């Protein structure tokens, strides 16, 4: 299995991280972060993710020959492996060859590892760190590879449908069906039973998560996502039985027992899913749920300064813009007054939302229901974080994490 060429000077003295916590807001651009700040902290406050001292800007384009706008699979592959690939591909290069991920390298070095998401745990972003498939839709195969190949110590999220054989009941019922039929869709056997055989404690609710002691833990908390993606007022919901922050705290508790350290991926997926629906209210909630998880990671890093904490996104979704709700229509600049000029407002506008600690309000305007090619912000703290200053491509993130943890790689 190959991995990316490492371009830096390996003789250079640099701080070393025992552990890395990578928090990914799927679809979260700078405007999403600003909106989260405004609604919760106001114009002068900062989210936990934006109080991290190192800031950079990361490019997101993929190597797909048909479009430069990335999907989550190609974006996560670039971050996880240092290799750009085609959309839909999970930890394989454009020719379909598997490439080693940061999680796999950490495990080979004797570290523990974990994957957490509010989406299906076998969805594209976590999959790129723990599996290798030609297409992201092969979610049961991704689950099988977690258990039998990459072996993360902690696996927490949704998507139990892909862990049980097709038609067999799981813990969570699918959407109401008058026939009472379960629609599990696994293609690799009973993977929950297989997980138990391999020593994983398997939990499905808050009490089980709270009581779990590890050292291996599989938590499946929904048949699909831990939320329901829809436009506002049309069946949309985000009230999971376990929070992202609680999953993060449990994972850190288990993984940090390894004296060699750990790698942990934490993904908040609702930002992207709700942005696809131009659902500002729940996209905002996703940002704030991620920020609670960032606070958990930061609290741990304060007790172990050998921990590198990174917050970023795989791509931007929605082409989001933020404006004041009472801003005068253009042209309003002194001396502008172009004859016949019409007022211009944001398209697909959501709001107004209150600005915390102020009398102001803001609106959120969407340019698209899809992904964009915008660069995304990166903030970080800890050993090696200084290499995330400036602008770079998403493959650089892998390089920084590998160097920070002094991991051995095989060069293509």
Per-residue pLDDT of the chain (412 residues; tens, 9 = 90+): 654 444 444 445 567 999 999 999 999 999 999 999 999 999 999 999 999 999 999 999 999 999 999 999 999 999 999 999 999 999 999 999 999 999 999 999 999 999 999 999 999 999 999 999 999 999 999 999 999 999 999 999 999 999 999 888 788 876 655 555 557 889 999 999 999 999 999 999 999 999 999 899 999 999 999 999 888 888 899 999 999 999 999 999 999 999 999 999 999 999 999 999 999 999 999 999 999 999 999 999 999 999 999 999 999 999 999 998 876 665 555 544 444 344 444 455 789 999 999 999 999 999 999 999 999 999 999 999 999 999 999 999 999 999 999 997 754 3
Sign of the torsion formed by the C-alpha atoms of 270, 276, 282 and 284:
positive
Beta bridge partners of 155: 115, 218
Relative orientation angle of helices 280-303 and 30-40, to the nearest 10 degrees: 90
Backbone angles phi, psi at 44, to 5 degrees: -110, -10
Pairing, β 376-381 against β 307-312: antiparallel
Beta bridge partners of 55: 379
What pTM did the predictor assign?
Answer: 0.92
The pLDDT of residue 235 is 87
Active-site residue list: 72
Inter-residue contact 265 to 310 (CB < 8 Å): no
Q: Where are the beta strands (DSSP E) in 221-373?
A: 262-268, 307-312, 316-317, 321-324, 349-354, 361-365, 371-372
The closest alpha carbon to 246, from 377, 157, 122, 350, belongs to 157
**Token reading at 241:** 């039985």
Inter-residue contact 398 to 77 (CB < 8 Å): no
Q: What is the DSSP annotation of 183-226?
A: ---BSSS-HHHHHHHTT-EEE-SHHHHHH---SSEEEE-SSS-S
Domains of the chain, earliest start first:
19-320+366-404 (3.40.720.10)
Pairing, β 262-268 against β 112-120: parallel
Calculate the CA dihedral of residues 28, 99, 199, 249 and round it to 10 degrees: -30
């Amino acid at each position: 299995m190959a991995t990316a060429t490492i371009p830096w000077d390996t003789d250079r003295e640099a701080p070393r991280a025992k552990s890395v916590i990578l928090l990914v807001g799927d679809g979260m651009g700078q405007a999403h972060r600003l909106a989260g700040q405004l609604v919760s902290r106001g114009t002068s406050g900062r989210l936990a993710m934006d109080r991290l001292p190192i800031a950079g800007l990361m490019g997101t384009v993929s190597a797909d020959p048909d479009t430069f706008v990335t999907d989550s699979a190609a974006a996560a592959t670039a971050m996880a492996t240092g290799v750009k690939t085609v959309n839909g591909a999970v930890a394989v290069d454009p020719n379909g060859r598997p490439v080693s991920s940061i999680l796999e390298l950490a495990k080979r070095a004797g570290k523990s590892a974990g994957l957490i998401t509010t989406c299906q745990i076998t969805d594209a972003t976590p999959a790129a760190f723990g599996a290798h498939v030609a297409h992201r839709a092969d979610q049961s195969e991704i689950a099988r590879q977690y258990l039998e190949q990459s072996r993360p110590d902690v696996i927490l999220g949704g998507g139990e449908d892909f862990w049980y054989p097709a038609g067999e009941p799981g813990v969570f019922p699918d959407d109401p069906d008058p026939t009472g039929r379960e629609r599990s869709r696994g293609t690799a056997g009973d993977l929950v039973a297989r997980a138990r055989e391999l020593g994983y404690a398997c939990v499905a609710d808050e009490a089980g998560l709270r009581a779990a002691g590890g050292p291996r833990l599989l938590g499946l908390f929904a048949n699909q996502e831990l939320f329901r993606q829809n436009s506002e007022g049309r069946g949309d919901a985000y009230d999971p039985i376990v929070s992202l922050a609680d999953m993060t705290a449990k994972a850190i508790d288990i993984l940090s027992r390894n004296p060699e350290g750990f790698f942990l991926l934490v993904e908040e997926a609702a930002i992207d899913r709700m942005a696809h629906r131009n659902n500002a209210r729940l996209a905002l909630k996703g940002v704030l749920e991620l920020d609670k998880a960032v606070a958990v990671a930061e609290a741990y890093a304060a007790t172990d300064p050998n921990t590198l904490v990174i917050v970023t996104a795989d791509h931007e979704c929605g082409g989001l813009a933020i404006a004041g709700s009472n801003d005068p229509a253009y042209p309003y600049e002194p001396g502008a007054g172009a004859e016949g000029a019409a007022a211009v407002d944001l398209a697909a506008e959501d709001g107004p939302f209150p600005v915390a600690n102020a009398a102001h309000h803001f609106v959120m305007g969407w340019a698209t229901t899809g992904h964009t090619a915008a660069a995304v912000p990166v903030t970080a703290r800890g050993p090696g974080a200084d290499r995330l200053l400036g602008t770079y491509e998403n493959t650089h993130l892998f390089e920084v994490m590998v160097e920070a943890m002094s991991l051995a790689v095989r060069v293509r």
